[in-house]
Amino acid sequence: MPLTPAAIRARCAADHGAERGEWKGKFEGEVTRVRRRRSTRT
């Protein structure tokens, strides 16, 4: 497999997919929590 940027990106995504998914889930949870707080205040 040649080390093209696409191949490197695919391999990195496979390596870090679980970590990134977990971080994204935490981040989105924080964002929705803040939005809910703001919407209840107004």
**DSSP string over 1-42:** ----HHHHHHHHHHHHHHHHHHHHHHHHHHHHHHHHHHHHH-
Contact 7, 1 (CB under 8 A): yes
Q: What is the mean pLDDT of residues 15-39?
A: 71
pLDDT band at 11 (very low <50, low <70, confident <90, very high): confident
Query: pTM of the predicted model, to two decimals?
Result: 0.29
Residue 32 pLDDT exceeds 80: no
- Return d(Cα 14, Cα 1) in angstroms, integer: 15
What band does 34 get if pLDDT is binned at 50, 70 and 90?
Answer: confident
Specify the pLDDT at position 16. Answer: 66
